[in-house]
Each structure stands twice: as structure tokens, then as C-alpha cells.
Chains A and B, each alone.
Chain A
Amino acid sequence: MSALRTGLRTAAGNARLLWWLLAANLALAFVAASPLMGPFEESLSRHEAAAEMTRRFDMSWWVDLTTSRAESFSRALDAVAAAAFLSAILGCFFAGGLLQAYHDTMGELPLDRFMTSCRRWFGRFVWLFALSLPLYWLVHRLVNTHLALAIDDALEHVKREEAGLLINLGRAALFLILFDLVTLMADYARVHAIVRAERSMLTCLSSGMRFVLRHPLRVGSLEAAALGAQALALGLYVPVDRLLTRESATGLVAGLIATESFLLLRLFLRETTRAGQVALYRSVAAG
């Protein structure tokens, strides 16, 4: 909790950086999704039931749109995939500046120093990201293929559906945990790189792994708090969103603002967690 409090304070101190993250996210998403603006507009703007369809989602229309514009949607999915990759790379860029801010000042970092740190760590953090990808792939193969097959065989002896569901749920939970574990190892590897000014990303990754495995309770509780906060944010957002997205243009704008606010909140919570990770790492190192 101490780390989380510190993280909250630090992230709040650097709140303006969140706008950069949000802007980058929005710009990339806009580029990926904008080719579909035309098909949406063409399909609905002169549709007889356009007013009604502003209020409710019409599955029949959606089936028609995605079928008649299948190529556009397929290209858009490719664009989303490309944007997702770029987003990860951008994440590598911003991570250096953000972590430096959380480590150095515990307050607001000047923009030029922020950008300098971003540039300084960018290449190394891209390399660290590349190192983490095989781990993600390994988790996927182990859990979603090999373990799934083993469970599939074991389920032959299970008679009750509840038991089978629990086993499958357990596998899915294991996948999530391991997936998150890889993310946490990479997170703490970056923290190690910044705090220790370590240049070797292999060393950092190894340190990150050691840190996570040696302090599972502390790391886990911080992560659990972060997930809880994210769930709470989603729980708050959904009813608000349902209230705001009405037929009018005002409702549309209000809905957009609510959505961007929700994303901003999620970014803030994530940065809080990241700052908390720095604080936790420093406190463990100090103690």
C-alpha cells in the first residue's frame, strides 16, 4: 500500500504526461479506424432507420455492413494489428521517460529531461520487449496448447460438468497469471534498468525475474490492487456510458468525453502502478 500511495502521488505529479499517452493512443487508433469511417457513414447516414439505430445496436445492420464491406474490415483489422505493434513500440519509447520521472524526481519532470530519457532508453527497451515476446509465446504454447491437450485427455475421466468447468477455468486463470507474470518481469526489468542504470537488458530481465519470484507477495498485492482499481474504473464507466450515449449530438460528444476520460483514468491507474513498482523496487533495494 505504501508503494501504491507513493505511486499515486508520483503519477499525479506527472499527470500532464498522461495527456501525451492519451494523445498517442488516440492518434494511432484514429489512423487505424478512420478507413472505416466512410463505410459506417455511407451505410447509416441515409438509412431510413438511422434515428432508431442511433439509440440501439442493430445486429442485422452490423451483419450486412461487415459482409458487404468485408475487405474494408479485414484491412482495418490489419491496421489495428499494425497500430497495436506501433503502440507497443511507443510504449517502449515513453517507458524510459516515465520511469525516469518516477525514479528521479518523485515530482514533475521537465519535458526536455523527460524526452531525453525517452530517447536514451528507447532502443534498450525495444530490445527488452523483443526478449519478452518469446516468453509470451512460450506461455501461450504451454498453457493453450500443451496443457489444454493434457487437460482434454484428463477430462475424459471427469463426469460432472462443474468439475470440468473449474479445471478449464483454472487453465484460463493460469494463462492469465503467467501472461501477467511475464509482463511483470519485464516491468521490473525496466525498473531495474532505470534504478541501477543497467545497460544490459538480459541482466535486467534476469533481475526482473528474480525480483518477482523473490517477492511474490509484495509484487502480487500491488498488481492485485492495480487490477482491482481497473475493475472499479470499468464498473464506474459502464453505467455512466449507458446514460450518456443517447440519440443527440450532445449525447454523442458526452459519450466520447466519458470514454476518453475512462481511458485517461485507466492510463493514470497504470502509471500509478508503474510508479508504485519503482517505489517498491527502491524500498526493497534500500531495505
Chain B
Amino acid sequence: MSDVESRMLARALIAAAVIACAAPPATAQDGARDGAEKVAGYRIAVTLDPADHTLAGRETLTWRNVTGAATGELRFHLYLNAFKNDRTTFMKESRGSSRGNRLREGEWGYIDIVSIKLAGGADLLAGARFIRPDEGNPDDETVLVVPLPAPVEPGGSLAVEIEFAARLPRVFARTGYKNDFYFVAQWFPKAGVLETSGWNCHQFHGQSEFFSDFGTYDVAITVPSDYVVGATGSQTEATAGVDGTTTYRFVQDGVHDFAWTADPDYIKETRWFRFEEQRDPIEEERVARALGLQPGAPELTLEDVEVTLLIHPEHRSQIDRHFAAAFHAIRYFGYWYGRYPYRTLTVVDPAYLARGAGGMEYPTLITAGTGYFAPPGRHSPESVTIHEFGHQYWYGMVATNEFEAAFLDEGFNTYSTGLVLDKAYGPNRDALDIAPGIPYLAVPLMEIPRGPEPWSEQAPPRGATAQLTHLLLMRPFGPSDDLALNSFRDLPFLNYVTDAPIDEVTAQRRRYLRAPKADELARRSWEYFDTESYGLNSYAKTALVLRTLEGVLGRDVMLKVMRAWFTRYRFKHPTFGDFVATVNEVSGRPMDGFFLQAVSGSNVLDYAAADVSSREPAVGRGVFGPRGERRVVTRKEAERAAKEKKEAAAGEAGAGTPRDNEILIRRYGEFIWPQWIHLRYGDGTLTTRAWDGAYRWVRYKEEGSKLASVRVDPDGTMALDVNQSNNSRTVESRPLAGLKWWSRLLQWTQHVLYFYSGLS
């Protein structure tokens, strides 16, 4: 250990002693977290040395065996070792880049256990060894097994004291530094989860997040005094040291992780979410009605929350937007699922080029995501702030296993985030009005082309800025058709669609449709086909599954389901099976068949109104009648008879010409689900038919009023439908719309060719 490390450790020891002497403060909301089982409690004292981006820490883990079997070992996550070299499982899987950042030469991160022993007892370090339970990579050191001298019996507990020294990586995947900015997450030796089946302690993967037990965290953080600090929980003390440092103490119970941040450049702003000022009476009444409560019922009364924003100066103008988004999230998640039980929420704006730390969730602390330009209609920073807050519910409190079932938090949260965005903001609008009547999307020909991220083959250029370069310059040099097509699809027609607002369902469908059959939805996070498949299944498809479920069950029943899911399983580790059981019970409908197809399979849902016609009834031609009364009807006679029939029908007041209507509905996908079909008639009437959707097609024939159109899934409930544009079909053809948008494509092509002809 170097002198510097020794000094840092000494500071950490002093801070640890301070913590040991002080009891955790009680908060007004303690009662709300009573359900949280105290399995793994941490007292940590840590010192940051910004000179070489190192941490020195001392940790006391108090751990309880809540399973029915004894265990002879402890398992720890040493997440920082994922950044130790390019042979770790994380680095191999991520290929060195993640979340918009990459790790550079010399910026490795790691953690060393200096000592580990039972409190006041035996040393455990000698027997400790690294294991690789997921894929046997000998270079991976992210899981440490520590044999115990004696087993911990069911219900038994122990305390372990650990000294550790760590070096943070340049922020790359959630944790690390960028200049003076520190976001310190996955930074301490952290116990895995002991389950009935054994230890659940996976290696750190390129696409995996986390899973751990609830407990109380009491953490003292020592940093240079000019740093502004934020962390999980409530700050209870700030003690200035004699050497230009300050020690901040944060305490929080009922959580399963702890992250902190420090940066001298932060602007720190605190505002209170005061329920009485933030009420939405209309939504409160709707929720109360759906849940069978009285408006103003205690169940719908939310707690006040102290919201702290740590934001960088260049984003100062977005302070109000961050707070507004956080308040919307606290309000609607609280109304819908249950109140936010913690006293604090800290929102962190990562430093420039530290995107790797953005968009992350830790208990009571989230990182946002924004940029210098944030057009008012664009859901940024709002969507990230709301999404990460949502993780306080899905993952934070309903603590599902992110390693093994990422969709249970990411997808559920994407669904909930979408509902909040719909409710509070409406469709996302990327266009920036650079002048009245001239949105941003209208002028990409004036935009500056740029190439792809030069270090990443995986990062094709996206969006308006890149369109021209991507299609015209990059295409010959490599990007695949898919990438070109995706880019083309993301922003159609380049400069001739001036505005293209995107609602949340469309946004998720756009993502899902990139590869709807690549994987089954429910897989362990590192076992998806690729990064894109992980993302579109864990986030987009799951959100669409829940939107579809909402369409099937109805909005109010879905609200009850999600509320039951939260209230029953907060501070627990439920599985997908628990969710299915909750749905079945609360809705009173067996939905196993739905989940079997939507979650356990990769079948796609696509029902289409394939054909519709409404013709005047034909009058038969040919030979009619039995022998002796035989009658021959010629074409002329048939036409004359049809004409007379039509005139007779027209003469009857209020009656239209009876028609032969024929409708063909087809199932193109393998996902089978009953469908409603609307038949709209020319006279404005509407009839509804139900189809079990099982066979490949169904054909309806009827005689009646002139049919105008037919529509499958008339309420648009099937968000999973991979082609909603074929859901309706009119009898009459209207070519104008198709011609209009095709002509736009033609015009776009003309300007592309104009550009090229100018090169010669």
C-alpha cells in the first residue's frame, strides 16, 4: 500500500469510527419502509483522492441468512474489476464501449481487497478466491467467494470488516471520473443474494445490471472541500477536516445499493415536492374511481419529497425542466402505484462527455441525460429523468433481478415512463422551430454532415444531422442496408416532413420493429443475440406487451394490477411468475396464454383487414327451375333485373340498395389473440364482430347496407401488432394520400441527385 493509500485509509478509519459512534437518524417516513427486510447492512467510510482517481474504504457488512439453509461462504460482487483489463467478461462483451463512451488506454479501473475478516475475529482473505459462475472466463475477477470458518445457519447473521482500495475508470459504463466529475457506483465489495437455491451472484456483464438485498447504508464520504457531493439517502453530517477535506455522511434504510457523486462544478439546487401544491385533482379522482377509493383517500396521499438537483452550469437553463419532470414522476407514480417512501431524491446531471454515467438509477439518486440543445417539444431531459425515477419503483423497491430478467424493471419502467410522458407532455417532437414556420427538420440540406463515431463500428450515424452523409457518403463505405434503412426510417424524407411528432407507443414500436424475432423476450441479459436485441426486448417490447395487456384488460384493471404488483412486492425480489399470478388474480382472467406468446416466445402479432368489398347483388344468369318450368336468363335480362331491383330499392324511403358485403380478415403473424372487428357502413352505422383469431383467416359475407370500411382492433389496443397500418381497409380507394407522400419521396430523391450532379 502506498503512502497516499495509507493516509486515505487512515481518514476512512477515522470516519468509520465517527459512524460507529452515531446512531442512524430516524426519519418521518421510516414507517413506509417497514416491509424492507434488513438482509445486508453496510457501514462504509471512503476517501476519494482526485489526484489519481482512487478510493480507500473501510466497510462493515452486517449480513443475515434469510434462507432456510446454512451457508458456508459469502459471495461478493467486485464490479470495478470489470474495468481492469480488456479480457474481463464485461470488456469482451461490450467491446470496450458502452452507453456512448469508451474506455481508453490507461484508464482502467479495479478494486483490491486489502483485508477481510469477521468482525473482531478471523481473517478471511487467505481463503478467498475469484469464481466465474456464468461463463468460466479465467480473466474475470468480478465475483469473489469468501469461505467462512463456520456456516451461518438459517436466521443467523454475521458482520464482516473489509478494507478496500479502488481505482475508478474514466467514466465509461455508469461509474468513474471525467476530469473533476466523479460518479461513484458499483464501487464497494457488495454481497450477492443468497436464495434457497444458493448464491445468486453473477459476473458483471456488458449488458447486465444488478441485484442485491435490502438493508441500511450508512456511508461517510471524504472529498476535497471544494467538491459538491450528492449521494443515496439523506445527508446527516458534514464535517470539515484539517487537511482541506470534508466528510459527508449519508444514511438510508430500505435500499439495496448506494451511489454518490462529487464535482466542484455542480450547481446544487433543492426544491420540495409538496403534495398539496402538486396535486392533480382530475387524475386523483380517476385513480380513486378505478381503485374503488374516495378522492383524497389516504392511499392517494403522497409524502413531501426533498428533491436535489446537481446540474452543470451549461445546463442551467434546464433546471426547471428537471424539477418539473421529477415532480410529475413523483406525483403520477405515487397516484398509480403507491407513494414514494423516501424523504429525498437526488437528480444528477453528468459532466460533458460523461454520458456513460447518465440515465442510471440508484436508490434515491438518479442520473439524468441532457444536452446543450434541448428543444422545448423534445422529451429531453424529461424522459430520462422520469424513467430513472421510475426505477425507484421497478428495481428500486420491486427489486427484481436485473441480471436474469432485465425486462421486469426496464420494460415495466418504459411502460410507466410512457404513461407519465403521455399524461404530462404529449407526443415527443424533435423539430426545432428555427424561425416561425420553419422547423428544424425542414432544413437538413443546410445541415452539416458528419461521419459515424470513428471508434465504433456499432454506432452508425443517426438522426437528421447524419442523414446526408450516411446515405450518400457512408453507404458505399460499409454501413449495412439495415443501418441505412433504419436511418432512413428514423427521419423520413429528410427535408420534406417538417414535423413528425412521435407518441410513446410509436416510439417503442419503432424500436421493437427493428428485430421483432431476434430473441424471446425473457432471457438473461447477457444471453440476447446482441445489444440491440437486449434493448428492444428489455425496454420496447416489454412496454408494448404491457400496453397490449392494458388494452386487453382495460385501463382501470391494469392500474389495479400494477398497483397490486407494487404494493405486494415492494422491498422483495419477485419473479415474472409472481407478476403473471398477480395479473391473473387481480384481473380475474387467466392470462397465461398471452404471456406464453408475448414473453416466452418470439412470435409476432399481425392481424390485417386484407380485403373488403360491397357490391350490388348479382342477378343470376343461366338456366333456372326444374324440368318443365325451366327458364333461361340472359346477360341482358340479368342486367335489366338488377337495374329494376336497384330502382325499387331507391324508391323505398330510407332504404339503400342492398349490397353483397364481403370481408376478409387475415392473421399474418403466429401470435394468436381474439380480435374485435368494426364494420362501418355508408349510412354511418357500425357493427362489431368478435373473432377468436385462431385460424389463418376469416371471411364474413352479408347482405346489407353499403359497407364503407372495416377495422381490426378498432380501439388500437394491440400495441404489439407489427403492422398496424394494415388494420383498416375501406371499400373505396383514395389514392391521394399515397401519391402525396410518394411525391415527397420523389422530391427527396431529386435533391439527392441534384447534390450528386453538382460533383461533376
B372 contacts which of A59, A63, A162, A242 (Cβ < 8 Å)?
A162
> Do A45 and B737 have beta carbons less than 8 Å apart?
yes
> Do A40 and B745 have beta carbons less than 8 Å apart?
yes
> Do A239 and B437 have beta carbons less than 8 Å apart?
yes
> Do A51 and B450 have beta carbons less than 8 Å apart?
no
CB B14 to nearest CB in A, in angstroms, measures 32
When distances are taken between beta carbons in the complex, the residues of chain B under 8 Å from A51 are 734, 737
> Do B745 and A36 have beta carbons less than 8 Å apart?
yes
Asked if A280 lies at the interface with its beta carbon under 8 angstroms from chain B, I say: no
When distances are taken between beta carbons in the complex, the residues of chain A under 8 Å from B313 are 160
CB A114 to nearest CB in B, in angstroms, measures 17
When distances are taken between beta carbons in the complex, the residues of chain B under 8 Å from A234 are 443, 445-446
> Do B352 and A161 have beta carbons less than 8 Å apart?
yes
> Do B499 and A84 have beta carbons less than 8 Å apart?
no
> Do B472 and A84 have beta carbons less than 8 Å apart?
yes
Contact pattern, A 30-43, Cβ under 8 Å of B = 1, otherwise 0:
10110011001111
When distances are taken between beta carbons in the complex, the residues of chain A under 8 Å from B711 are 48
> Do A62 and B734 have beta carbons less than 8 Å apart?
no
For chain B, the count of residues having a C-beta within 8 Å of the partner chain is: 92
Report Cα–Cα, A179/B759, bound state, in Å: 10
Contact pattern, A 43-74, Cβ under 8 Å of B = 1, otherwise 0:
11111111101100101111111111010011
When distances are taken between beta carbons in the complex, the residues of chain B under 8 Å from A83 are 749, 753
User: Are A183 and B759 also in contact (CB < 8 A) when A36-B745, A77-B485 are?
Assistant: yes
When distances are taken between beta carbons in the complex, the residues of chain A under 8 Å from B741 are 40, 44, 53, 57
Instruction: Pick from B438, B471, B489 the residue with the most CB of A within 10 Å.
Output: B489
Contact pattern, B 589-620, Cβ under 8 Å of A = 1, otherwise 0:
00000000000000000000000100000000
> Do A57 and B497 have beta carbons less than 8 Å apart?
yes
Asked if A238 lies at the interface with its beta carbon under 8 angstroms from chain B, I say: yes
Asked if A267 lies at the interface with its beta carbon under 8 angstroms from chain B, I say: yes
When distances are taken between beta carbons in the complex, the residues of chain A under 8 Å from B27 are none
User: Are A173 and B448 also in contact (CB < 8 A) when A67-B513, A83-B753, A91-B757 are?
Assistant: yes
When distances are taken between beta carbons in the complex, the residues of chain B under 8 Å from A126 are 760
User: Are A164 and B352 also in contact (CB < 8 A) when A43-B738, A59-B501, A145-B451 are?
Assistant: yes
Report Cα–Cα, A28/B476, bound state, in Å: 19
User: Are A172 and B488 also in contact (CB < 8 A) when A29-B746, A88-B759 are?
Assistant: no
User: Are A84 and B753 also in contact (CB < 8 A) when A70-B485, A159-B351, A245-B740 are?
Assistant: yes
> Do A158 and B352 have beta carbons less than 8 Å apart?
yes
> Do B728 and A175 have beta carbons less than 8 Å apart?
no
CB A129 to nearest CB in B, in angstroms, measures 4
Asked if B265 lies at the interface with its beta carbon under 8 angstroms from chain A, I say: yes
> Do B446 and A47 have beta carbons less than 8 Å apart?
no
For chain A, the count of residues having a C-beta within 8 Å of the partner chain is: 105
Asked if A225 lies at the interface with its beta carbon under 8 angstroms from chain B, I say: no
> Do A85 and B471 have beta carbons less than 8 Å apart?
no
Asked if B371 lies at the interface with its beta carbon under 8 angstroms from chain A, I say: yes
Stretch at the interface among B190-198, B527-535, B684-692, B717-725: B717-725
A54 contacts which of B315, B737, B753 (Cβ < 8 Å)?
B737
> Do A59 and B502 have beta carbons less than 8 Å apart?
yes
When distances are taken between beta carbons in the complex, the residues of chain A under 8 Å from B438 are 235, 238-239
Asked if B180 lies at the interface with its beta carbon under 8 angstroms from chain A, I say: yes
Contact pattern, A 127-140, Cβ under 8 Å of B = 1, otherwise 0:
01100100010001
* 5 CB-based A-B contacts, threshold 8 Å: A53-B741, A59-B500, A81-B471, A144-B469, A247-B736
Residues of B whose CB lies within 8 Å of any CB of A are 104, 170, 178-180, 265, 312-315, 351-353, 371-372, 437-438, 442-443, 445-446, 448-451, 454-455, 469, 471-473, 475-476, 481, 484-485, 488-489, 492, 496-503, 505-506, 509-510, 513, 612, 680, 709, 711, 722-726, 728-743, 745-747, 749-760
Residues of A whose CB lies within 8 Å of any CB of B are 21, 25-26, 28-30, 32-33, 36-37, 40-51, 53-54, 57, 59-68, 70, 73-74, 77-78, 80-81, 83-85, 87-92, 94-95, 125-126, 128-129, 132, 136, 140, 143-145, 148-149, 152-153, 155-162, 164-165, 169, 171-173, 175-176, 179, 183, 186, 231, 234-235, 238-239, 241-242, 245, 247-249, 252, 255-256, 259, 263, 266-267, 270
- For the complex of A and B, the 10 pairs showing the least CB-CB separation, nearest first, are A144-B451, A48-B728, A91-B760, A91-B757, A172-B448, A64-B725, A44-B738, A41-B738, A87-B753, A40-B742
